[in-house]
Chain A
Amino acid sequence: MSLRLIFKRYQSYSLSKFSNLEELKLNTSDFKGLFKYSTLNELYFQRGEKIVNELNLQLIENKISPPSSLNELIKLTINKPELIKIYNNATSLQNLNFFFENLKESSDYSFPVIDSNEILKSPILEDLEEVNNNFNIDKDLKDWIISSFGSILQFKSLLLNSAHSINGNGITWLISQPRNDESLKFSSFSSNFGNKDKLSIVNTYNNGTIDDSLRSNQLYKNQKQKELKENLKLEKEPEQQEVVEEEFNPILGTIEEAEFQNLFNEKSIIPLLAIDASPRNYLKDYGVFGNQRYLDNVWKCINWDIVKQRTPKKDSQNFSFDYE
């Protein structure tokens, strides 16, 4: 596959301009409930700027005229090792945009000094009903979450615990993915979002992209390619081909084999929410011990209207990953 983009003129990417963030930058005020101004500036504006500059520079260096959407660019570059830098910057930018897009300021906040006692602190227990009642979001979305995870509290603890378990850089995503037929049979749930989709929580690390159709079967592809090559070699020297009777192996296959065989079909995954759990997000304002506190604050700062906007529409079942 070659990049068939020569017809377009050079185009460069820029950092998404979110009106709420721009306003904060103008007044150099804190992102209430989550980040101090200096941190926000470094996390979003400076880091974003750096990524965008590198990306554009590399596009020019490699003489690539990029497609209009970042997602297209990722699709084009993911399987090209020589363009790895472009891919890395493109996903970084996309993930950064996506995360900051689904945040809004929240009213109650403080940045206390968090010391080592935080590790031993008992988790704050929440009432199932209370969490449910305080979770004021679009009713359809709420029902969908409850039917997928059992309750809002369960959803919350799974989401935040998943993010908490990320050691290095990474993002926890809420995604909508098509149900496989098996689970469809037993599902009594039907909603406006269509029977075929269910919500799940997934982690990606470093510059991983959430788009499963691109990401998931990489090893498989490589294996196939290698087999193909070896087969070509074998055809040249057919005398080497020997039929070896395969021994019956009663042991179950590895997870890898299972993945190869059936897990990753071409799934169209739609990301709805991203929580960036990388250490850079909490180290500055919350300190080394502040991971949990940071995530608790993120929960309060999620903009569920945006999440709702990202959900697949009622009537159409074919979605694209694009957003702008």
Chain B
Amino acid sequence: MSKLTPVLSANWDQADSFTIDGYKRSGGYTAVAKALAMNPDEVIQLVKDSGLRGRGGAGFPTGSKWGFIPQGDNKDHYFVVNADESEPGTCKDTPLMMANPHVLIEGVIIGSYAIRANYAFIYIRGEVTHVVRRVQQAIEDAYKAGLLGKNILGKGFDLELVLHVGAGAYICGEETALLDSLEGFRGQPRLRPPFPAIAGLYAKPTVVNNVESVASVPAIVNQGVAWFTSMGTEKSKGFTLYSLSGHVNNPGQFEAPLGITLRQLLEISGGVRKGHKLKFWTPGGSSTPIFTDAHLDVPLDYEGVAAAGSMLGTKALQIFDETTCIVRAVLRWTEFYKHESCGKCTPCREGTWWLVQVLKDLEAGKGSEADLDKLLDLCDNIMGRSFCALADGAASPIISSLKYFRQEYLDHLSAGACPFDPMAATLFESAGVK
């Protein structure tokens, strides 16, 4: 376990980690006092210097994002936390908010102070009611403790924090769709420019940060840039939560420095389930091109994963062993994207509708090899042609699966059916189920 660096998850084993007292006992809400004593620009500079990058998928430097907010513009600024975690396989923000909502709130206060926002919002997906309740309670407690509201800690800084519950659309994790949804409209991505830093929520300068990014800030404030940059790799600094799921013995959250490999993470998490071997995996949720057992030693940082042809994404490592049918897995993901396509642009809306039909046929062993080329060409007409990145995410697993497992697709066609037993891939007992 020596490779793990629990920071965000350090107190998750405490029974009262989610309470304000529990959080304070483990050193919580000391960073906010420190930050409020600093000049806001110094806070931004600190985060810039730390090299903290967005943990929601794109990896954009958090400090730079804060620095884009025009200052002295006589406009309200808004700080928005994207807690609409919905990428398949991604399950880090939900446990973080369950186990330690106050670290998020502390990050929100510091971030809002830095960008001079007096209103902040946490946008949580509506399905996770238990998390909504817990964060709501934490916000109430923070208000009572004088950490939110007027004149926070007597430092003259005011902040109102509003929890907003989404209605369960994947697209609302896209930051501009999130802002539309937060304003009360249908969540659909907005045309950019203007970017949220110039005209975001209610057309005012707005920062939108992922939960984990925001929650990482208090530790940086407390322990400094040198401490943070001592972890990670050259361009991917610090620690992060890796979420392992699927055919792995001990699934869960593993907080480690950026640049750790799957091989190391599998060692820590007890390896692929007994008697099976790794077949393919996603480095950062279903929208990132899949990897295979050839990629076990790829450093899981932004650059390493990109160099190997995928994206670090949300660091949601979904592990699939050899019992899994690649066509079936890809079809399931594609059905998800079809269901979640917002409908705004043609390639995503119509493309996912079509992809599902082609993949269904292929999974059933219908069609010919030419259909694989058609599928790839179709992906080429969708990838990079859509309004937002949702459709790119839909095409990625298909393209990458054909790259590594084309033969398996052909096996379906020659067999005229799926050669796999879907029960064998389930995690529960398969004996006698067939």
A and B interact: no
Residues of B within 8 A of A (CB): none
Residues of A within 8 A of B (CB): none
